[in-house]
Structures are given as C-alpha cells and as structure tokens.
Amino acid sequence: MPMTWEVPSQAGAKPKAEIHIIKDQCKGCGFCIYYCPRKVLGESDEINARGAHPPKVVNESECILCSLCTAICPDFAIFVKEKQCKDGC
Ligand code: SF4
Ligand code: SF4
C-alpha cells in the first residue's frame, strides 16, 4: 500500500505555531529574523545574558512551521512546535 503524506497546511485547518526562543542562548545574529520567509520574527530591545538582542515574535499567526529558523540558528536558540489546541483555539 503506498504511503501518503500531507503538508500540514493542506490537511484542513491551518496548524498554529508555538515559537520558542531560548533567549539567553541567542547571540543576536539576526539570521532567523532575516531569513524567515513569513517575517514572523523581529528585533527586540531586550538584552539577554550574553549582552545580545534576542528576536521577538511579531506575527505568530503567519508562521508556517517550516523550521528554517531552527535550521539556521547557529546557537540552537529557537524552535517551533505545532500548538496543541484543545478547545478549538
Ligand atoms: S518556522 Fe519558518 S515561518 Fe515559522 S518562524 Fe521559523 S522560519 Fe519563520
Ligand atoms: S538565529 Fe539564533 S542566535 Fe541568531 S538571532 Fe536568531 S535565535 Fe538568536
């Protein structure tokens, strides 16, 4: 029997993202902000333990869970999960 696989965003309701930034691990390079295809992230004024500005989430609903930000982050400081919605969130 052939295996089938559906892109989550084509499988019905668009999945919602839960973006996690491990702020004190971030060196503020800005790669995730620059390369995010949906401009979900932006610069923040916050200063972390490394003296850097970690990104902030500015447009979470636009996230397509592609995980490009995770793949390109040199410091493993960001990851994205699908939000587990219990009451139709
Ligand atoms: S998972 Fe993709 S769309 Fe979402 S924040 Fe990361 S790079 Fe942007
Ligand atoms: S790519 Fe990683 S280290 Fe660079 S700004 Fe984003 S979270 Fe911080």
DSSP the chain: -------GGGSSSPPPEEEEE-GGG-----HHHHH-TT--EEE-S---TTS---EEES-GGG-----HHHHH-TT--EEEEE---SS--
Domain count, the chain: 1
Which pTM does this prediction carry?
0.84
pLDDT in tens, 49-64: 999 999 999 999 999 9
**Is 52 contained in some domain?**
yes
pLDDT at 84: 84
Rounded distance from Cα 2 to ligand 1 centre (Å): 30
pLDDT at 9: 52
Residues of the chain with pLDDT under 70: 1-12, 86-89
Question: What CATH number did the domain enclosing 70 receive?
Answer: 3.30.70.20
Top mutation candidate among 22, 23, 31 for ligand 2, by most atoms within 8 Å of CB:
31
Write out the residue range of the structural domain in which residue 53 sits. 15-82
